[in-house]
Amino acid sequence: MALGPVLLGAGFVAATVTAVDRSRATERLAVAATAVRTSVDALCQQLRAAADAVALTTDQADVAVQVVNRGLAAAIQVTDATGRVRHATPDPPPAPWRDCTAAAPAGGTVGALVARVELRDSAGTPLGAVTAAQPVDPAFVARLAGVTGAAVTLLDGTAPPVQVAHTTESPGGREAVLTAAASLHDDRVTSTPDGRYLRRAGPTVGQPLPLVLSVPSDQPPGLSAVLVGVVLLAALVGVATAWRLARVTTRPLVELADAVDRVVAGDLTARVPVRGGDEIGRLAGAVNRMARETGGYLAALASSRDQLRGHLAVLGDTLASTHDLHRILRVILHSALVATGARAGAILLTGPDGGLVAQCVEGFDGWPEAGPPRVPLACGAVGAVAATGQPCRGRLVAYAGPPDEPRCRTYLAVPLAGPGTPIGDRPAVGPPAATSTAAAPTLGVLALYDRLGGTEFDDDDLARLRTFAGHAAVAVHNVRVHEETQRLSLTDPLTGLWNYRYLRESLRREVERANRFGRMVSVLALDLDRFKEVNDTYGHAAGDAVLVEFARRVRGEIREVDLAFRQGGEEFVVLLPETDARGAAIVAERLGASVRANPVPVTGHARVRRSVPVTVSIGIAVYPDHAESGPRVLAAADEALYAAKAAGRDTWRVASAQPDGEPAGTGRTGQVGGASSGPHPSRYGHGR
């Protein structure tokens, strides 16, 4: 009577332990496969960010070394459009290299994982590529084994005969992997005679490495012999077994309680021994799975945190190394998308008319349909964020935004605050009120749409996006300050005309253009007559007023394509592209008449308002009639100006060329020589 139930119980225990062992091994291998894909994907994202950082800089060699020194990649290689290597960091991983984005390959040796970023100019023409590589070596396989908690084998080929490239298996396990690898397909689990469970993990799209994962069986060795021994001894120890039954039952509960306490205290390595397939065993297995999955989630979060730090480091390097606003905004938007898991996003900046203009868009299909999208201020969710200066997030049941705003289900928008602009700390859930206005205008809006997975954006996403919005605001402000500084460095602060520094560059550029297309360039050297008497009689303030008014009249008498410069003091220069001597003489006549006919009202030392008569002398020189280079044509115009001064002032003279090519100032007044340049005659006609 007692032996029959014992036999049935022994068979049931053996079958249950085997089934639970296989189920647990299958779950462990599934968790390990997920961890492998997560780790390889994180490595590929890191390599792509490193390649983007090098591609977005002008000094690619230095940035490549910095990226390698930071540990974001083991090697960086920059190639041109023909595939020739322009730069490569030392000690690259061995070939062959396999691209992270490659489709599932048929097999072959893998020396390194790489991420490739195309280099293109503003017109979209391929200029080459930047490739970031990380070696696939025994250390890499060992790191995967440490993350997954399983033995990892990298195969050298996926079709027979299968060879092992790298493995963390023991020598005996290596032979078992080679024997069973050819029969592994998809996600099925196979067991080996030595008590191990194997599963294939790739190659697939996004995970190009042919890997085999294995875990040992948790089934106690010699279980069958133990069960037979128990049956034989059942008749002898029946009473002892009954006496100890209560103690054997309570022991797993004690172990389970201790393990749960350790997990609660933060020790995720705690495991409960599964001693059977009953409720307590299943509960112990559930606790063990919970601890393993929690550890995997924490590892993924740590990888995401490290990836975010890498993006911020790359972003800081980009901000410090370039003033290309579009590239900076593209790096910021891409980093924000990766950090928050959003499907799409856009950075919109405030335009001159007060509306928002998209400067950088990523992740949208078919938007914008034509031209840069524009969103009116205070219109829709994005426009309201720009108007109020308050961040917002929410979910739209039905799309109700303006036609220029992208369609979405969930969104998160943060304003780009300019210097001194207060940004609200509490985000609005749902579209903010469009009627309120911010205390100071914002520079733009950083908006993300439709978080992957269908979940709504949360406050953690908002905190991350504020960080990126702060970087974007600093980038926009710095670039605008840089542009304004460049403009001020090339203009005269008194008259607003271009200065002598820009004159030299413009003269060189116009002469090169005229030489390339067979055109003419006329140079007018202007000097206000007896300007020193104006300063001595009425004071320097009156002289400055005369210079400002003269500059205004010069701008009014020339075309938009012409350039006016203040060379210094009362000396000015005007460049007339595609204009011959006759057209230049017409301009000189009109400039002289405009200055002569309208005296300049000034206030003298006695604070008396008077009109000061002003005249101008002008020298004219034409490239290539009077000189063969920019400096010489300017010198020829100066010589002609001296001739106009010597002729009694308030007139103009055209330079003439000496036989040896050197300019002289014995010009003409009543007539001008030379013909128009090529098929484009002078645009200065008599009807001007």
List of long-range contacts for 370-379, beta carbons under 8 Å, 24+ apart: 373/346, 373/348, 373/404, 373/405, 373/406, 374/404, 375/348, 375/402, 375/404, 375/405, 376/402, 376/404, 377/350, 378/434, 378/435, 379/405, 379/434
Residue 381, helix vs strand vs coil: helix
The tally of CA atoms less than 13 A away on the side-chain side of residue 428 is 20
- Residue 279 bridge partners (DSSP): none
Residue 167, helix vs strand vs coil: strand
175 is catalytic: no
Q: What distance in Å separates the CA atoms of residue 174 and residue 166, rounded to the nearest whole number?
A: 10
Q: Tell me the C-alpha to C-alpha distance, in Å, between residue 497 and each of 81, 281, 564.
A: 42, 87, 6
Q: What distance in Å separates the CA atoms of residue 6 and residue 20, rounded to the nearest whole number?
A: 20
Q: What distance in Å separates the CA atoms of residue 507 and residue 486, rounded to the nearest whole number?
A: 19
Starting at the edge strand found earlier in the chain, the sheet holding 410-416 runs 374-375, 356-362, 342-350, 444-451, 410-416, 392-395, 428-429
Q: Which residues contact 177 (CB under 8 A, 6 or more apart)?
A: 153, 164, 167, 169, 198, 212, 214
CA 520 to chain CA mean position, Å = 44
Strands 189-191 and 356-362: unpaired
Q: Which residues contact 49 (CB under 8 A, 6 or more apart)?
A: 72, 307, 310, 311, 314, 335, 338
507 neighbors 579 (Cβ within 8 angstroms): no
What does R_g of the chain's alpha carbons equal in angstroms?
40
- Residue 563 bridge partners (DSSP): 575
Question: Which helix (H) or strand (E) is 427 found in, with range?
Answer: none
Q: What distance in Å separates the CA atoms of residue 249 and residue 233, rounded to the nearest whole number?
A: 20
Residue 687, helix vs strand vs coil: coil
Q: What distance in Å separates the CA atoms of residue 204 and residue 137, rounded to the nearest whole number?
A: 20
Q: Is 623 left (phi over 0), alpha (psi -120 to 50) or beta?
A: beta
Q: Which residues contact 370 (CB under 8 A, 6 or more apart)?
A: none
> Quick one: tokens of 498?
């271009």
Q: Which residues contact 446 (CB under 8 A, 6 or more apart)?
A: 332, 333, 336, 345, 347, 413, 414, 415, 416, 465, 468, 469, 472
The tally of CA atoms less than 13 A away on the side-chain side of residue 5 is 4
> Quick one: tokens of 128?
């080459």
Q: Would you give the end-to-end CA distance of the chain in angstroms?
A: 125
- Residue 130 bridge partners (DSSP): 78, 117
Ramachandran angles phi, psi of 336, nearest 5°: -65, -40
Catalytic-role residue among 570, 589, 639, 662: 570
Q: Tell me the C-alpha to C-alpha distance, in Å, between residue 383 and each of 213, 367, 371, 412.
A: 52, 17, 19, 13
> Quick one: tokens of 207?
């995970």
Helices marked H in 490-629: 500-517, 531-538, 540-557, 581-597
Residues with catalytic annotation?
570
